[in-house]
Amino acid sequence: MVTAIIVGAGHRALQYARYARTAPDRMRIVGVADPDPARRKAVAEEYGLTEEQCFESAAALAARGRLADAVINGTMDRDHVPTTIPLLEQGYDVLLEKPFATSPRELELLDAAVRRTGRRVMICHVLRYAPFYAEIKQRVLAGEIGDLMDIQTAEHVSYHHYSMGYVRGKWRREDLGGSSFLMAKCCHDLDLIAWLKSGVRPARVASFGSRSYFCREKAPAGSGEHCLLDCPLEKDCLYSVRKLHLDHPDRWTYYVWPHLDHRSGVTLAEKEAVLRDPANPYSRCVWKLDNDLLDRQSVMVEFSDGTLATHQMIGGTSAPMRKIHLIGTTGEIEGTFEENRFRIRHMDPSPGREFREEWVELADSDDHSGARGGHGGGDERLAADFAALVLGEPGSVSRTLFEDSVTGHRIGFLADQAVREERVIAF
């Protein structure tokens, strides 16, 4: 059994920690470190922790030496490296939320600490563990489409998700969340590209992007500053906080009402009062905030073996979607994550034919729906593989070493640099 301590008791860390509930013979939660007393109390009640097992910060935990086998680090992006390095030095293995660094400098610092301490760090690349992507990886490794020549991926971030997190929310500015939109939302996708080309070094990165819609210049004429306080257009606005959050009171609750999240019996009136506070960014017009993130970006990567990869990131779409299209020397794989299926296509020059294809339907629909932790079932599978890593057991096809996780992050940092500097950058 792995003993683990939660550091940063937010939504993501608690999702991974759920593995201790579903597999109590494999993982046990023995502590929590979080500056919020309500979060500490909630975790203590759920996992039966004593006051001595609760800490106000990662630093306070590190000061006590090694009290468990591992840490599940779900702090905010800019806190990942400063909190993880002291814990590595105390002997903890770490399951670390992505993006694991907010700059190339932080990346190098953490990489050096991992090498220096010899501890094991697994990054929460949960999409690798979703049955959809794990099966695609297996098919590529089996040579079903030959050698990879081209990788095309895309992520569409729905209007309610994008406005919640990246326009009104705590990731709306890089100095608040610590990361760009690309790194905060799509380092999953860049990791998938690097994972599919594992062992092959990227050669060049280019990127284009803009913030051209969620800005004051695009605000409807006559709109107010605050949805529920002074906007005459609120009833007809797609981005009204009433429509997005009060009409869907259980959607994104842990982000929109974080201080209410651990209370029971919260009324709709209480939630509305929070959204009427003019100091709350969630009360603000979606076009008139202080956000500075791009709302769309294209990334292009050339690998040293000539393989090309592209990723399209778009915020504010009608529906969420992740899709992938792999083109190899003898075939193709194409699919959409939300549909939980993909097709394999091969050339067929026989009379009356051009190609043949087969659909791969993934039956694990319960996991895909999020019943076992979200991300297409990836959350719990990742936590299980982390426990196996700490116990020294063989890993799944989705597991890689920390140094393998570095490539996807470097692609993202270079892509953001390419946008700023308007040039192609050597890897």
pLDDT at 153: 98
Helix, strand or coil for residue 385? helix
Helix (H) / strand (E) containing 315: strand 308-317
3-state secondary structure of 58: helix
Tens of pLDDT along 353-388?
999 999 999 975 444 334 344 666 789 999 999 999
Whole-number Cα distances in Å, 277 to 113, 227, 272, 281, 378: 43, 10, 9, 9, 37
CA nearest to 98, candidates 117, 82, 122, 119:
122
* CATH 3.30.360.10 is the classification of domain 127-214+291-375+401-426: yes
pLDDT, position 367:
40
Average pLDDT, rounded, for the chain: 94
Q: Which helix (H) or strand (E) holds 194?
A: helix 181-196
What average pLDDT does range 157-179 have in this prediction?
94
Tens-place pLDDT, residues 260-273: 867 788 999 999 99
Contact 314, 153 (CB under 8 A): no
pLDDT, tens digit (0-9, with 9 covering 90-100), for 309-343: 999 999 999 999 999 999 999 999 999 999 999 99
Cα separation, 128 vs 378, whole angstroms: 7
User: What mean pLDDT is predicted for residues 41-63?
Assistant: 97
376 and 341 in contact (C-beta within 8 Å)? Answer: no
Residue range(s) in the chain whose domain bears CATH number 3.40.50.720: 2-124
| Euclidean distance between CA atoms 152 and 217, whole angstroms | 33
pLDDT at 259: 82
For the domain 2-124, what is the CATH superfamily, name and number? NAD(P)-binding Rossmann-like Domain (3.40.50.720)
pLDDT confidence tier of residue 235, bands split at 50, 70 and 90: very high
How far CA 369 is from CA of 188, 255, 364, in Å, comes to: 18, 21, 9
Strand partners, 309: 151, 301
Where in the chain do CATH 3.30.360.10 domains reside?
A: 127-214+291-375+401-426
HSE of 24, CA atoms in CB hemisphere, 13 A? 2
Q: What is the pLDDT of residue 370?
A: 41
156 within 8 A of 314, measured Cβ to Cβ: yes
CA 110/CA 89 separation, integer angstroms: 11
pLDDT at 63 (0 to 100): 98
Q: What is the pLDDT of residues 97-154, one digit of tens each?
A: 999 999 999 999 999 999 999 999 999 999 999 999 999 999 999 999 999 999 999 9
Percentage of the chain exceeding pLDDT 90: 90
% of the chain beyond a pLDDT of 70: 97
